[in-house]
Structure 1
Amino acid sequence: MSDLIRTIANLTPDEKAELIAHLKAGKANVPRGAEIDFSRNHEWRFRSDMPFDLAAVSFEAGDPDPDCVQIDARAAGVNFRDVMIALRIYPMAPDVPSNMASDYAGVVTKVGSRVTRFKPGDHVVAMNIGHVEQGHVRENSHFAKCLNIYEMCVFHKPKQLAFVEAALIPTVYLTAWYALVNCARLERGGTVLIHTATGGVGLAAIEIARHIGAKIVATAGTPEKRAYLVERGIEHVFDSRSSRFAAEMRSAGIVPDTILNTLAGDLMLESLKLLGPFGHFVHIDKKDVATNAPLPLGYLIKGLSFHFLDISLLLRNPRHLESSFAELASLFEAGSIRPIRYRSYRAAEVKQAITEMSRGTHLGKLVIEYDSAQ
């Protein structure tokens, strides 16, 4: 195990990017470590004793800081970034801590002295950056059951959603919403290409694009995933693992106005060529960013807009975060968009969930459910 840790720790940026690509293609798993041993005490957190050795340890949450809300978690979302954090290969956003479990839903147990929007007993959703104590975010406060979160990161849960459904919102729905609405300004009648569309962000983007009234084109990596998209009513579905999708789209006369991109390297550049004049390209994959890959500006000659989106940076702009969440919450409450497909795991199965995420074979989102009595 120690040899494996040293090996990965010494990888170059290109080698780390290759590892990320293998993980996404289902060719590698989270390295095996010690078995997870969760305490029955509800005030525990999930951490790594060594870079890839997942274990649990108890800690006292304490009273929340003046600007914080204490939450008893009922559900937490699992994202691919959690795999990268577990492997210590996540390209960190500036001034944003990298703790696993960025999506939370739960019940407020305490509030700080300056908190005005919440009271104990409120059902909430949170975009989590980690447990806060004495003005600092605690590193390695992964998958905490009870934690203190800044008020600006917490929102009232849409009433008709279960906790496990609400935990789907922060990362995947906020990413899809900000990409399509704020970055791309997708309009009714427009055409959007959603790459790897059976993932959490992809399925959320389908919900949002349908609400807007846009035409949807999609890609996915396996025949089973492509069949699922066809079952969802998407007429044009292509292979995300081959550049053939570009030629096939041209043959079908498909010219997207917007591309929500998760592909890297040559496949990303092939996608850029597909956009019509003044199209919008929203890139949410970090592989090329992590390796500082070049982007030839000639690809933008049709007046294209290129956006790189890391939704965690919304924490640096609370006004945008609050307005985006409010719009999403109103759509959920009106029934205009629905929760995406998900698979839930018990709290003692966090390791299994992260391993499943690393394989890339699942559809939709993975969620951890906590026992309310835990």
Structure 2
Amino acid sequence: MSEFLKKIKGLPPEKQAALIAKLTKSKNKTENSGFDFSKNFGYYFKSSMPFDFGLKETSISEPGPDYIQIRAKASSLNFRDVMIASKQYPSSPGVPTNMGSDYAGIIEKVGVNVKIFKPGDEVISIHIGHTENDGKLKDNCHFIKIFNVHKFCVCLKPKNLSFEEASCIPTVFLTSYISLIKLGRLKKSENLLLHTASGGVGLSAIQIANWKQVNIFATAGTKEKRAYLKSVGIKNVYDSRSLDFAVILKSNKTTIDVILNTLAGEFMFESIKLLKPFGKFIHIDKKDIAKDTHFSMKLLSNGIVLQFLDISLLFLNPSLMITSLEEIVGLFENGSFKAISHTVYPIKDLKKAITKMSRGTHIGKLVMSYD
């Protein structure tokens, strides 16, 4: 590995993205300008350098017996995509690593064992890449336009949402729903602390919290993000980059029933101290897991339930994934949940969107449109 590449890999994702975008700006503009987006395509990594990916035309096989072929209309980004693009994603055992997991689109074909879906159905999907009819994932093919996916990874799209709105559902709502409902067992009038709540997971968690009628305490990293949270009705909003939230809550004698956590180190430890006896701490950030961060077991002395949710492991438990996704879609259709804030980019501007996401200045979700 060259000294230059070592230097780049040592930078945080937002600086990697900015540097690579600057170095390749004119080249990428030339490459994408003549590409035929009417054909099937996918992105691929051209080298081991972070953010060094481009477009190529892609052929696919017929769907296997238990698979569905979908033409993507929209796909939303997750921070996982930034980590993969920057070559920093800690992969999960048995789960392949591909960018692009949340899609909304139209079914093109179905396998012989697929009975509840048909061509023309509008669906949402969460998956980890296109699967050939031999059961193998297509290697180094990201945000593919037409793909085959297992039937357990597909759910009918809420009728009252656009494709762009619906593509925001899978990862963030599954993460918040399973964390708060399945693991946290959130109940009416409980106190919920949401860290970095202006992102997709946080905004979906706010909707779940309002649906369950709980008291929300939230943090966010900038004045703009905190102002946005207040504008959507959150009264108790604090700075996620300062421990003041812990000081204020303690001084007010406020204790927490459930914490949905994305913070690390001392911020995580001080958050745990806010929990009531038998409170639940659900951690969803992989950085401390990858670093094997240690902490004092005394933090659990109040009977605290400490859990970690890696959403990619749901592919190893498809029943939980599809059941939860169907419940979420039902809550959209009955009006309990609404589309979350999002910004749309054309798919040709994927690098631009990922660079934007890596800087952490956006609110809500970023969506790639295939139209």
Taking structure 2 as the reference length, the TM-score comes to 0.93
- 1:317 is aligned to 317
**Per-residue CA shift, 1:289-312, capped at 9, x if unaligned?**
111111321101110001111111
Offset of residue 137 of structure 1: 1.1
The aligned residue for residue 238 of structure 2 is: 238
Give distance in 2, aligned partners of 1:109 and 1:3. Answer: 47
Q: How does 1:176-255 map to 2 (within 5 A)?
A: 176-255=176-255
Aligned counterparts, 1:235-314, within 5 A? 235-314=235-314
What do the CA deviations read for 1:205-238 (whole angstroms, capped 9, x no partner)?
0000100111100000011111111111111111
**Among candidates 29, 36, 45, match of residue 17 of structure 2:** 29
Q: Which amino acid aligns with 1:164?
A: E
- 2:163 is the alignment partner of 1:175: no
Show CA shifts across 1:7-33 (max 9, x none).
456x6xxxxxxx5xx44xx56535334
Q: Which residue of 2 aligns with 1:354?
A: 354
Residue by residue over 1:95-131, the C-alpha shift from the partner in whole angstroms, topping out at 9 and shown as x without a partner, is: 1111111100000001112222211101010001101
**Secondary structure of residue in 2 paired with 1:249:** helix
369 and 318 in structure 1: CA distance in 2 versus 1, 3 angstrom threshold: same
- Residue 50, structure 1, aligned to residue 38, structure 2: no
Post-superposition offset of 1:150: 1.1
CA gap of 1:239–1:342, structure 2 versus 1, over 3 A, is: same
Deviates more, 1:36-45 or 1:257-266: 36-45
Distance 1:290 1:8, change over 3 A: farther
AA partner of residue 183 (structure 1): L
- Which TM-score applies when normalising by structure 1? 0.92
Give 1:64 deviation, angstroms: 1.1
Q: Choose 32-41 or 186-195, whichever is displaced more.
A: 32-41
User: Residues 292, 39 of structure 1: CA spacing in aligned structure 2 closer, same or farther, 3 A cutoff?
Assistant: farther
Q: Does 1:107 find its partner at 2:106?
A: yes
- Shift of the alpha carbon at 1:173? 0.6
1:164 alignment partner, SS class: helix
In the alignment, the residues of structure 1 paired with residue 107 and residue 5 of structure 2 have an alpha-carbon distance, to the nearest angstrom, of 38
CA distance in 2, matches of 1:4, 1:356: 23
Matched with 2:118 is 119
**In structure 2, what is the Cα distance between the partners aligned to 1:222 and 1:188?**
29
Name the counterpart of 1:15. Answer: none
The percent identity for this pair of structures is: 47
Where in structure 1 are there 5+ consecutive unaligned residues?
12-18
- C-alpha separation between the residues in 1 aligned to 2:251 and 2:169? 36
Aligned partner of 1:335 in structure 2 is 335
Preserved contact between residue 279 and residue 305 of structure 1 (Cα < 8 Å): yes
The CA RMSD over aligned residues, in Å, is 1.6
1:136 aligns to what SS in structure 2? coil
Q: Distance in 2 between matches of 1:217 and 1:342?
A: 22
**Matched positions, count:** 359
Distance 1:126 1:7 in 2: 37
Q: Which amino acid aligns with 2:124?
A: V
State the distance in 2 between where 1:267 and 1:4 align: 33
Contact 2:17 2:86 in 1 (8 A): no
Preserved CA contact (<8 Å) 2:191 2:256 = yes
Query: In structure 2, what is the equivalent of residue 77 of structure 1?
Result: 76
Check the 8 A contact 2:81/2:100 in 1, yes or no. Answer: yes
C-alpha change, 1:7 and 1:49, in structure 2 (3 Å) is same
Distance 2:88 2:177 in 1: 26
Contact 1:42 1:146 (8 Å CA) reproduced? no
Q: Secondary structure at the match of 2:176?
A: helix
- Which amino acid in 2 is paired with 1:156? L
User: Could you tell me how far 1:59 is from its partner in structure 2?
Assistant: 1.3
Q: Which runs of 4+ in 1 moved over 4 A?
A: 6-9
Aligned to 1:257, the other structure's residue is in SS state: strand
C-alpha displacement at 1:88, in angstroms? 1.5
> 3-state SS of the aligned residue for 2:105?
strand
**Aligned equivalent of 1:90:** 89
Contact 1:343 1:365 in 2 (8 A): yes
In the alignment, residue 199 of structure 2 is paired with which amino acid? G
In the aligned structure 2, how far is the partner of 1:291 from the partner of 1:193? Answer: 24
Amino acid at match of 1:132: T
Name the amino acid aligned to 2:280. Answer: H
What residue identity is the alignment partner of 1:94?
P
**Residue in 2 aligned with 1:66?**
65
SS in 2 for 1:276: strand
SS of the residue corresponding to residue 321 of structure 1 reads helix
SS in 1 for 2:108: strand
In structure 2, how many angstroms separate the alpha carbons of the residues matched to 1:139 and 1:291? 27
